[in-house]
Structure 1
Amino acid sequence: MPGDERRGLRRAARVLTLLAAATLGLVATLIALAALATWIITLQVEARYPPAGRRVPVVGGHLAVLEAGPGEGQQSRGTVVLLHGASANGMDPMQAFGRRLAGRGFRVLALDRPGFGWSDRLAGAEAASPAVQARLIAEALERLGAGPALVVGHSWGGALAASLALDTPQRVSGLVLLAPALYPWPGGTVSGYAGWYRSPVGRVLMWLAARTIAAPLGLRYLDRFAEVVFRPQTLPPDYLDGARVPLVLRPATFLANLQDLDGLHAFLERQSPRYPEIAVPTAIVAGDIDPIVRTEVHAAAMARAVPGATLTVLPGIGHMLHYTATDAVVAAVEEVAARRRVEAE
Structure 2
Amino acid sequence: MTFFLSGAAGLLVLLAGFVVASILRNRRRVARWTAAFPPRGRFIEVQGQRLHVVQDGPEDGPDVVLLHGASINLRDLEITLVPGLVRAGFRVTLFDRPGLGHSLPCDLHISLRRQAELLDEAAGKLGLERFILTGQSFGGAVATSWAVHRPERVAGLVSISAPVLPWPPEIPRHFRLLARPLAGPLLARLIAAWLPLARLERELAEQFHPAPLPADYLARSGALLAQRPETLHNDACQRLRLLRDQRAMVEALPRLRLPVELVHGTQDTKVRPDRHAEPLREEIPGARLKRLAGLGHMPHHAEPEACVEAIRRAARRGGLLPAVQAPPRAQLLEAHP
Q: Determine if the TM-score, normalized by the shorter chain, exceeds 0.5.
A: yes
Q: Deviations over 1:19-65 (max 9, x none)?
A: 11211221121121011111000110111111101111211032101
SS in 2 for 1:125: coil
| 1:232 counterpart letter in structure 2 | P
Q: After TM superposition, list the pairs within 5 Å mapping 1:220-259 onto structure 2.
A: 220-259=198-237
Deviations 1:143-173 (A, max 9, x none): 0001121000100011100111011111211
Equivalent residue runs for 1:263-342 within 5 Å:
263-341=241-319
Q: 1:83-102 residue pairs with structure 2 within 5 A?
A: 83-102=67-86
Segment drifting more, 263-272 vs 42-51: 263-272
Normalization by structure 1: what TM-score?
Answer: 0.89
Query: Equivalent residue for 1:4?
Result: none
Taking only the aligned residue pairs, the percentage that are identical comes to 34
> What does residue range 99-114 of structure 1 map to in structure 2 within 5 Å?
99-114=83-98
SS in 2 for 1:190: coil
Corresponding residue for residue 30 of structure 1: 18
1:53 aligns with 2:53: no
Shift of 1:265: 1.3
SS in 2 for 1:108: strand
Q: Deviations over 1:279-303 (max 9, x none)?
A: 1100001011101111111111111
| Root-mean-square deviation over aligned CA pairs | 1.8
Distance in 1 of aligned mates of 2:52 and 2:222 = 14
Q: Which among 116, 135, 156 is matched to residue 134 of structure 1?
A: 116
Q: What SS does the aligned partner of 1:213 have?
A: helix
Residue type of the partner of 1:126? H
Q: Which runs of 5+ in 2 are unaligned?
A: 324-337
For residues 235 and 203 of structure 2, the distance between their equivalents in structure 1, rounded to whole angstroms, comes to 15
How high is the TM-score relative to the length of structure 2? Answer: 0.91
Largest Rg, 1 or 2: 1
Taking the aligned partners of 1:95 and 1:342, their CA distance within structure 2 comes to 24
Determine the C-alpha separation between the residues in 1 that align with 2:320 and 2:34. 45
Whose helix proportion is higher, 1 or 2?
1
SS of structure 2 residue aligned to 1:284: strand
Q: Which residue of 2 aligns with 1:10?
A: none
C-alpha displacement at 1:307, in angstroms?
0.5
Runs in 1 of length 4+ with deviation above 3 angstroms? Answer: 192-198, 342-345
Q: Deviations over 1:240-293 (max 9, x none)?
A: 121111111111111111111111112112212211121110000101110111
From 171, 180, 186, the equivalent of 1:190 is 171
**Number of equivalences:** 323
Determine if the alignment matches structure 1 residue 166 to structure 2 residue 148.
yes
